[in-house]
Amino acid sequence: MDARFDSTLHAEFRRRLLASRESLLRTVAASDEEVSALEAPGPGDSPDHASARSIATLMSRLAGQEKRELDEVAAALRRLGSGAYGVCESCREPIALARLRAVPATRCCVHCQASQEVVP
């Protein structure tokens, strides 16, 4: 992870990514019961296991765009855990904190993203 990330920033981006994931999942939750299942583990379940089970159920309902966004959030959480979060996947330079705050799941800095979006 970029040296700019102390435990406070790490926690901030983890919260942002988890909130984004929850928001995406809520868009496809068909009932209040499913929303509650996302928030509380069942009897005998660890919170991570219950969350994974609930997410798997809802994933089957996701439309294409929501699925891609959820995949990006999951990838960002993995990068955060592995120490690669905040580094552009194209140029390997640090991604500006302002960009990370605006688009927490981003893989690229503004310059590289703009280069990728140019239509030939």
Model confidence over 29-84: pLDDT tens digits? 654 555 556 555 555 555 555 566 666 666 665 566 777 888 999 999 999 999 99
Q: Which residues on adjacent β-strands are paired with residue 94?
A: 87
**More confident: 19 or 49:** 19
At 48 the pLDDT is: 59
Q: Which domain holds residue 76?
A: 7-85
Contact 10, 40 (CB under 8 A): no
The lowest-confidence range among 8-17, 22-31, 33-42 is 33-42
Alpha carbon distance 1, 18 (integer Å): 18
Determine the 3-state secondary structure of 87 from DSSP.
strand
Q: Is residue 16 part of a domain?
A: yes
Q: Is residue 90 part of a domain?
A: no
At 68 the pLDDT is: 86
Q: How many domains are contained in the chain?
A: 1
**Which residue carries 């991604």 as its tokens?**
95
| Among 119, 112, 115, 114, residue whose Cα is nearest residue 90 | 112
pTM score, whole prediction: 0.68
**Helical (H) or strand (E) element with 26:** helix 7-28
